[in-house]
Amino acid sequence: MNSADPTTHDIPWLGTRRAIFALLVLTSTALGGWTMFEILRVNGITPLQCVILGLFVITFGWITIAFWTSIMGFVLQLTRRDPLTLAKLRTNDVPTQLGEHRTALVMPIFNEDPQRVANGLECTCRSLLEYPGAERFEAFVLSDTSNDEIARREEIAVAALQQRLGSRFTIHYRRREENHGRKAGNLADFCRRWGRHYDYMVVLDADSIMGGKTLMSLVQSMQANPSVGMIQTVPIPIRQDSVFGRFTQFAAALHSPMLATGQSFWQGDAANFWGHNAILRTRAFMDCCGLPTLSGKPPLGGEILSHDFVEAALLRRAGWEVRLDTSLEESFEEVPSNLLEFAKRDRRWTQGNMQHLRLLTGRGLHTMNRFHFLCGALAYLSSLLWAMMLGVSTVDAIGRAQGQHHFFSDGYQLFPDWPISTPGLIIPLLVSTVVLLLLPKALGVLLAFIQCPAAYGGRFRLVASTFLEIAIAVLIAPIMMAFHSLFIIGVLTGYNVTWNAQVREGRSVPWKDAIRHTWAGTLLGAIWGLATYQMAPEFFWWLSPVWAGLLLAAPLVRFTSSLKRGARLRRFGLLLVPSEVSPPPVLQPLETSSLSSDSQGLSLAPPPPELPGEMPIQSFTDLPHPRARPLTKVPVKE
């Protein structure tokens, strides 16, 4: 769905929207903070409790952000309004070419499965060929692969793809000797060597697939508004066969568009970049997004790992609009197929997002970008903070149950006494937190129930799948809390992670691996549960989702990684998603596309002649002096 002319209108009442959103979040946070203050103040607030109260307020505020974002997204999607213009959405089947352009589809890869990469890219290219103007697109496979055998197969796969597409679509291949700067360095190398050939570039991950209509619409939007430097789409997971993969895929398909719509409503022209499935104005990116190296050693210093947030901030600082388009549907990606691989990816993102805290005071940054940096870090810090709050609540509950409310009270104690909490406030606070977490899920289900139940297998299967998704989410939440807490502690103590290729194909996790990665959490859950059962039986049952999730960690990892059980769920019609029920044309040839049997004798076509261009390194301590400015100046507020 597209609005009539989504990029030719100003964004109405953007300041008012942000003010209303901020008021809702701050009011909700203040109410939650006041409740926690009343819980803690019974025996007087100590300095340690003030710290805990501050951490709680920050964490509770982060939850309310997602809550109010989902409310706004729900209303806009229910009324079918564009989140930027607020105009009524209408179908626009054939994007109109507004002028000449050259667009590069750039796909950075690192030790990926070459055939899987080639098949996905072929689907994107063939979909583009269905529209006039496809000859103005070219694709680049930008390899940073360190394994020579994989690199050899990459060359074969791309050469075979070049042969299959022939002169209808141009695909280039380049391999770097060293992956300096990782993905960000890979993109910068492309820009410096070939960027000046192209007006726009669409960044694709190795697992990205985008429809031709979506790509044409993105180019049309960029041409219609010369002040826009980047447009991010909403990638939806596909091709998942395991229980965990199908759970993640279902949750994303059901809730991501609604949440993204709410984000677009209040972010406006200062949206974020998620690193892929987005179009960028090449000139603006080259002039504004040369990433500096942070002072100090990793993990908090050195190369910027989560580069996408930073690139969006640098574009916005230079006056370019960054938008999130939630109306384009054919934008897809893949996700890790099991909980351990999902946690490994989160470990890398944790380190990258923690680096962003160092950039909060960067000179000239837009307020929204500082907010993005903060929320990105809180997405992982909140797990550690909630673990601390659960620990304090457990100590307090045991103390009340045992009738002992004076911990270490002897005049020589190291820390102040823990407070006595009133159960009449603790339980409502916990219940309200659960509501804030679960109501967005309910709204996503309600939206699908009203508008497109058939896309999820019908209303009965949709509701049944939702209960299954919530059950899995509740059970794995304590495991992810433990993982994220460990990751945060690792970053703070100087542990630097390596960024390896993501495992995209489904596999069943062996019991040995499941136990090896979860035994500590299982032991913690056993001790936690036993202690509360013996000393605070009432709190034991209230805490059951936490200790049960930790106790069942290894079986959950093993069970949810199963491909057979995932296939069984699909046969029963559970956790179905629209891309399975009614696959869009861009995905239909995915399983049949393969390398030709005689591909060994093929040779790669050479890349195009280089047209060197500069990509100056930016600074967060000095104001920038970019050479490429929007034709329509966009004010930047610090």
Q: Which helix (H) or strand (E) holds 7?
A: none
- Amino acid at residue number 40: L
- The whole-number average pLDDT for the span 263-267 is 97
Distance (Å, rounded) from C-alpha 31 to C-alpha 24? Answer: 11
Query: In this predicted model, what pLDDT tens digit does every residue of 297-317 receive, in sequence order?
Result: 888 899 998 999 999 999 999
Give residue for tokens 């229980």: 243
Q: What percent of the chain has pLDDT over 70?
A: 86
Backbone phi, then psi, for 354, in 5-degree steps?
A: -70, -30
pLDDT-derived band at 178 (thresholds 50, 70, 90) equals confident
pLDDT-derived band at 6 (thresholds 50, 70, 90) equals very low
* SS3 call for 219: helix
Cβ neighbors of 323 (< 8 A, separation 6 or more) are: 7, 84, 228, 230, 231, 232, 264, 268, 269, 271
Are 70 and 443 contacting, i.e. CB atoms less than 8 angstroms apart? yes
Distance (Å, rounded) from C-alpha 54 to C-alpha 56? Answer: 5
pLDDT for 46: 62
Radius of gyration of the chain, Cα coordinates, nearest whole angstrom: 25
- The whole-number average pLDDT for the span 552-566 is 95
Are 74 and 258 contacting, i.e. CB atoms less than 8 angstroms apart? yes
Distance (Å, rounded) from C-alpha 45 to C-alpha 17? Answer: 36
Q: What percent of the chain has pLDDT over 90?
A: 66
**Based on the number of CB atoms within 10 Å of its own CB, is 431 exposed (0-12), middle (13-18) or buried (19 or more)?**
exposed
Distance (Å, rounded) from C-alpha 185 to C-alpha 143? Answer: 11
Least confident piece of the model among 34-38, 46-50, 198-202, 566-570: 46-50
Q: The tokens of 408 are what?
A: 């270490």
Least confident piece of the model among 78-87, 251-260, 339-348, 625-634: 625-634
Q: The tokens of 201 are what?
A: 């570039």
pLDDT for 237: 95
pLDDT for 414: 43
pLDDT for 43: 62
- The whole-number average pLDDT for the span 107-119 is 93
- The whole-number average pLDDT for the span 186-199 is 96
Backbone phi, then psi, for 306, in 5-degree steps?
A: -85, 80
pLDDT for 543: 86
pLDDT for 193: 96
Which of 43-52, 91-100, 322-331 has the highest average model confidence (pLDDT)? Answer: 322-331
For the 9-408+415-508+561-593 domain, the top CATH level (class) is alpha beta
What average pLDDT does the chain have?
87
Backbone region of residue 411 per phi and psi (left: phi > 0; alpha: psi in -120 to 50; beta: other values):
left
The length of the chain is 638
Query: In this predicted model, what pLDDT tens digit does every residue of 332-384 receive, in sequence order?
Result: 999 999 999 999 999 989 999 999 999 999 999 999 999 999 999 988 988 88
- Amino acid at residue number 38: E
Bridge-based pairing of strands 137-143 and 236-237 is: unpaired
Query: Is residue 141 over pLDDT 70?
Result: yes
pLDDT for 413: 43
pLDDT for 41: 77
**Based on the number of CB atoms within 10 Å of its own CB, is 424 exposed (0-12), middle (13-18) or buried (19 or more)?**
exposed
Distance (Å, rounded) from C-alpha 181 to C-alpha 193? Answer: 16
The dihedral through the CA atoms of 441, 472, 120, 578 has a sign that is negative
* SS3 call for 444: helix
- The whole-number average pLDDT for the span 129-142 is 94
pLDDT-derived band at 442 (thresholds 50, 70, 90) equals very high
Q: Which helix (H) or strand (E) holds 340?
A: helix 339-355
- The whole-number average pLDDT for the span 165-187 is 92
Q: What share of the chain is helix, strand, coil (3-state, %, to 5)?
A: 55, 10, 35
pLDDT for 304: 92
Distance (Å, rounded) from C-alpha 353 to C-alpha 275? Answer: 13
Are 59 and 32 contacting, i.e. CB atoms less than 8 angstroms apart? no
- The whole-number average pLDDT for the span 131-153 is 94
Distance (Å, rounded) from C-alpha 225 to C-alpha 631? Answer: 9
pLDDT-derived band at 629 (thresholds 50, 70, 90) equals low
Query: In this predicted model, what pLDDT tens digit does every residue of 491-516 receive, in sequence order?
Result: 988 887 766 666 667 788 999 999 99
Strand order in 278-281's β-sheet?
Answer: 170-175, 137-143, 103-109, 200-203, 278-281, 228-232, 321-324
pLDDT-derived band at 607 (thresholds 50, 70, 90) equals confident
Residue 522's alpha-carbon distances to 56, 515, 541, in angstroms, are: 26, 9, 18
- The whole-number average pLDDT for the span 434-459 is 93
Q: The tokens of 637 are what?
A: 């507020």
- The whole-number average pLDDT for the span 287-296 is 93
pLDDT for 432: 80
Cβ neighbors of 71 (< 8 A, separation 6 or more) are: 262, 440, 443
Residue 586's alpha-carbon distances to 133, 211, 567, 591, in angstroms, are: 17, 6, 23, 11
- The whole-number average pLDDT for the span 234-253 is 95
Cβ neighbors of 597 (< 8 A, separation 6 or more) are: none
| More confident: 393 or 568 | 568
Backbone phi, then psi, for 137, in 5-degree steps?
A: -110, 145
Distance (Å, rounded) from C-alpha 220 to C-alpha 225? Answer: 9
Are 604 and 155 contacting, i.e. CB atoms less than 8 angstroms apart? yes
pLDDT for 630: 63
Distance (Å, rounded) from C-alpha 534 to C-alpha 199? Answer: 68
Half-sphere exposure of 192 (CA within 13 A, CB side): 12
pLDDT-derived band at 623 (thresholds 50, 70, 90) equals confident
Query: Is residue 593 over pLDDT 70?
Result: no
**Helices (H), ranges, 166-224:** 182-194, 212-224
Are 70 and 259 contacting, i.e. CB atoms less than 8 angstroms apart? yes
Are 36 and 63 contacting, i.e. CB atoms less than 8 angstroms apart? no
pLDDT-derived band at 71 (thresholds 50, 70, 90) equals very high
Cβ neighbors of 411 (< 8 A, separation 6 or more) are: none
pLDDT for 364: 93
Are 586 and 127 contacting, i.e. CB atoms less than 8 angstroms apart? yes
Q: Which helix (H) or strand (E) holds 601?
A: none
pLDDT for 596: 47
Q: What is the greatest pairwise CA distance in the chain?
A: 84
Residue 407's alpha-carbon distances to 44, 53, 187, in angstroms, are: 14, 19, 57
Least confident piece of the model among 182-191, 382-391, 425-434, 566-575: 425-434
Least confident piece of the model among 8-17, 105-114, 479-488, 566-575: 8-17
- The whole-number average pLDDT for the span 28-47 is 79
pLDDT for 386: 82
